[in-house]
């Protein structure tokens, strides 16, 4: 699978307790089909962080990859914004 066909998501790191793994919360907004109200939903993804560079609160860009473990199918591509900034 080539690079341009893979999904890319932006999210916030909520946990970095595991070695080389971060949990990223991705939020999305959409309009409810019946009530026409804006609804916010979120989902958590486990992502591979090779250098343990991410901290809790960082905004990161993750990309889908091959299965790395039982629940890890994403890789951290870039740290968009550090938590202290």
pLDDT at 1: 57
Q: Which of 56, 48, 52, 55 is nearest to 77 (CA)?
A: 48
Q: How many domains does the chain have?
A: 1
- Each residue's pLDDT tens digit, 34-45: 999 999 999 999
8 A C-beta contact, residue 24 and residue 44: yes
Which structural domain, as residue segments, surrounds residue 50? Answer: 3-81
First to last CA, the chain: 35
Task: Please list the alpha-helical segments (H only) found in 21-85.
Answer: none
More confident residue, 4 or 56: 56
CATH number of the structural domain spanning residue 8: 2.40.50.140
The whole-model pTM stands at 0.90
């Amino acid at each position: 699978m080539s690079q341009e066909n893979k999904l890319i998501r932006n999210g916030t790191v909520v946990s970095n307790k595991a070695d080389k793994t971060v949990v990223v919360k991705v939020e999305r907004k959409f309009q409810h089909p019946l009530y026409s109200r804006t609804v916010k939903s979120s989902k958590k993804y486990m992502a591979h962080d090779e250098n343990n560079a991410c901290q809790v609160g960082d905004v990161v860009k993750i990309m889908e990859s091959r299965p790395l473990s039982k629940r890890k199918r994403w890789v951290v591509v870039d740290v968009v914004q550090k938590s202290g900034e």
